[in-house]
Amino acid sequence: MLFNNNTISISFSVNQFQCNNIEIWEDEDGREEQVLVEMESTFSTEYIRCPYCGGEVNGNGKDIALLKDMPIWFGIKQEVKVEYHRYRCKKCKRVFSEDIELKHPGVRTTERAAQWVKGFLRQGLSVKAVSEITGLHWNTVRKLHEEVIQDKLEEREKHLKDIGYKPVLLAVDEFAIHKGHTYATSVLDLQTGDVLWVGKGRTIADFQRFFEDIDPDYLSDVEAVAMDMNASYNKVVRDNLPKATIVYDRYHMQAQYGKDVLGAVRLYEARQHQKEAKEILGDITPETTSVEKAAKKAEAKAQSKEYSKLKKARWLLLKNSSNLTETARNSLNDILASHEDISVCYAMKEEMCDLFNLRDPKVAKERWEKWFNAAEESNIPPLMKFAKKKGERIDGLVSHATYPISTGKLEGLNNKIKVAKRIGYGYRNDDYFFSLIRYLSIPAL
Ligand SMILES: [Zn+2]
C-alpha cells in the first residue's frame, strides 16, 4: 500500500457519525491488509426523544458496533467501528440505543456493504461465491439472501394482487429432499408457473397447511387441481375447494401401470422361463442318450435366452411405441408374439395413453369404463388388481378430458431444487430452502 495516514487526512461524516480516525495496517508478510474507520456519534441528548413515550432523555453510556464494510480498495478488508450512544428516558425510564442508519438491520455490516452483497445475489450468484467475493461470512450473506428472496416474493405477490390475478389451474406433488430421506409437498400455478407454496412432509396434514397458509380468497377461482392418484391429496382438495375438479396425473398413472402391471407380468414370465430351463436340465439323467441330452440342453438354452430377453425388456415395454427404432420394434414384436399376457398388458398400456388424449368427457367416460371392464376380465392378476384399485377413482381420470392438466410441470422443479442447493450453499433451514425454490420459480418478466 502506498498511502498512510501520516500523509493524508480524511474527514467525513455519515448521518450523525463523524469519522475521527482511520487505521491502516498489514500483517508481517504484508499480505493481510486492513482498514479500520472509526466513527463516533455527534448527537447530544438534547436532540433525542424517547421512541416509546416521546419524553426527554439522559445519556446512558456508549457502545461500540463493529461493522464489515465494502473495501475502498479491492482485496483490502475494511471495517467501520461505530461508537454510538445509549439513552435512558427521563419519563418512562426505558433504555434504548441510538439509531445507526449506516448499519444494515439484522447483520453486522454497513448498509452499503449489504446492498453490495444483495446486488451480487440478485444476479443469481451462490451464497458461497458471494461470500468469497466480498469476504463476508457465508451466514451473513445467507441472511441477506433471505431478504432478497422475501422482497422478490412479496413484490411478485403484490403484482399479482394489483392486476387482480387468481389461479385457476393448480398442480400438487411431493418431491424428495436430502436424498430421499425426507419429503416436501409443493403447489404450482399451472398457468403462471409460480410455485405457490412448499411445505415439509407429504401427508394429508402436511398438505392441509397449504390451505391455512394461503388466503382462501386467492384460491376462490380454482377450477381444477392435478395430482398423483396414489397420494391422498384428493381428500384435502375436496374439503378445501369443494367446487374444484380433481384430475389424476397421467404420468404418475402411466408410471405406476408400467411398474405394477407391465413390470410384474414381465418378471413373472421371465421367471417362468428360468424355471422351465431348470426343469429341462433336471430331466437329464445318466440314462439320457447323448442325442437326447444335446436336444434338452438346446431347449434349456432357448428358455434361458427368453428369460434374459425379458429381463432386459423393461424400457422396451415402457417406451412410447412411436419412438422405437426398427430394431427395437422387432424385438418388441418378438416378445409380444410369444407372450400373450404381456401382449395384452402392452395393448392396454397403449390404449390408456390414448385415453388421456381424449377431450370429450362423454367419450372419455365410455372408453375408460370399457378399459376398466376389459382389465377386470383379463384374468391377469396384476392387471385386475390395478383396475380394481384405480377404477374407484375413474372420475378423476375422465376429468382429464375437460382439464388436460398434469403434474408434469412440477418435474421441472427438480432442476430448481438442484439450483437451490447450489445457490443456498450450506442451507440447514427448510424455510429458507423452500422460499428459495419459490423465488427461483418466479417467471422472468
Ligand atoms: Zn419514555
Amino acid occupying residue 222: V
Cα-to-centroid distance, 331 and ligand 1 (Å): 87
Cα-to-centroid distance, 43 and ligand 1 (Å): 18
Cα-to-centroid distance, 83 and ligand 1 (Å): 23
Q: Which residue has the cell 388466503?
A: 215
Cα-to-centroid distance, 52 and ligand 1 (Å): 5
Grid cell locating 18:
463523524
Cα-to-centroid distance, 260 and ligand 1 (Å): 72
Cα-to-centroid distance, 65 and ligand 1 (Å): 24
Task: Say if residues 264 and 236 touch (Cβ distance below 8 Å).
Answer: no
Beta bridge partners, 227, equal 248
Task: Say if residues 441 and 194 touch (Cβ distance below 8 Å).
Answer: yes
Instruction: Give the relative orientation of helices 127-134 and 111-122 as an angle to the nearest 10 degrees.
Output: 140
Could you tell me the domains of the chain?
1-103 (no CATH), 169-249+407-411 (3.30.420.10), 251-268+306-402 (no CATH)
Cα-to-centroid distance, 57 and ligand 1 (Å): 8
Pairing of strands 95-97, 77-89: antiparallel
Cα-to-centroid distance, 86 and ligand 1 (Å): 13
Model confidence, pTM: 0.84
Which regions of the chain are under pLDDT 70?
Answer: 1-11, 28-32, 74, 179-180, 425-427, 445
Cα-to-centroid distance, 62 and ligand 1 (Å): 19
Cα-to-centroid distance, 147 and ligand 1 (Å): 31
Cα-to-centroid distance, 67 and ligand 1 (Å): 28
- Count of Cβ atoms closer than 10 Å to residue 265 Cβ: 23
- Can you give the pLDDT at residue 230? 84
**Distances in Å between the alpha carbon of 139 and those of 107, 150, 178, 376?**
9, 17, 20, 59
Task: Say if residues 108 and 65 touch (Cβ distance below 8 Å).
Answer: yes
Cα-to-centroid distance, 96 and ligand 1 (Å): 9
Task: Say if residues 76 and 36 touch (Cβ distance below 8 Å).
Answer: no
Tens-digit pLDDT profile for residues 152-196: 999 999 999 999 999 999 999 998 877 667 889 999 999 999 999
Task: Say if residues 35 and 71 touch (Cβ distance below 8 Å).
Answer: yes
**Residue in 66, 19, 18 with CA at minimum distance from that of residue 44:** 18
Alpha carbon distance 153, 19 (integer Å)? 38
Q: Which residues contact 275 (CB under 8 A, 6 or more apart)?
A: none
Cα-to-centroid distance, 41 and ligand 1 (Å): 21
Alpha carbon distance 32, 29 (integer Å)? 8
Cα-to-centroid distance, 47 and ligand 1 (Å): 14
Cα-to-centroid distance, 46 and ligand 1 (Å): 14
**Residue in 432, 345, 434 with CA at minimum distance from that of residue 387:** 345
Cα-to-centroid distance, 42 and ligand 1 (Å): 22
Instruction: Give the relative orientation of helices 381-391 and 394-402 as an angle to the nearest 10 degrees.
Output: 70
**Continuous H helices in 283-429:** 290-311, 314-318, 326-338, 340-355, 361-376, 381-391, 394-402, 408-411, 413-423
Cα-to-centroid distance, 44 and ligand 1 (Å): 17
Cα-to-centroid distance, 17 and ligand 1 (Å): 24
- Can you give the pLDDT at residue 9? 57
Q: What is the DSSP string of 74-135?
A: TTSEEEEEEEEEEEEETTT--EEE---TTBPTTSSBBHHHHHHHHHHHHTT--HHHHHHHH-
Alpha carbon distance 204, 119 (integer Å)? 40
Cα-to-centroid distance, 283 and ligand 1 (Å): 102
**Residue in 362, 353, 361, 390 with CA at minimum distance from that of residue 375:** 390
Alpha carbon distance 202, 184 (integer Å)? 6
Cα-to-centroid distance, 63 and ligand 1 (Å): 20
CA dihedral 189, 190, 195, 201 (to 10 degrees): 90
Alpha carbon distance 269, 225 (integer Å)? 38
- Can you give the pLDDT at residue 22? 87
Task: Say if residues 292 and 312 touch (Cβ distance below 8 Å).
Answer: no
Task: Say if residues 260 and 267 touch (Cβ distance below 8 Å).
Answer: no
Alpha carbon distance 345, 269 (integer Å)? 13
- Can you give the pLDDT at residue 48? 86
Cα-to-centroid distance, 111 and ligand 1 (Å): 28
Cα-to-centroid distance, 90 and ligand 1 (Å): 7
Cα-to-centroid distance, 107 and ligand 1 (Å): 27
Cα-to-centroid distance, 95 and ligand 1 (Å): 8
Cα-to-centroid distance, 51 and ligand 1 (Å): 7
- Can you give the pLDDT at residue 416? 82
End-to-end CA, the chain: 45
Cα-to-centroid distance, 94 and ligand 1 (Å): 6
Cα-to-centroid distance, 64 and ligand 1 (Å): 23
Cα-to-centroid distance, 89 and ligand 1 (Å): 5
Q: Which residues contact 164 (CB under 8 A, 6 or more apart)?
A: none
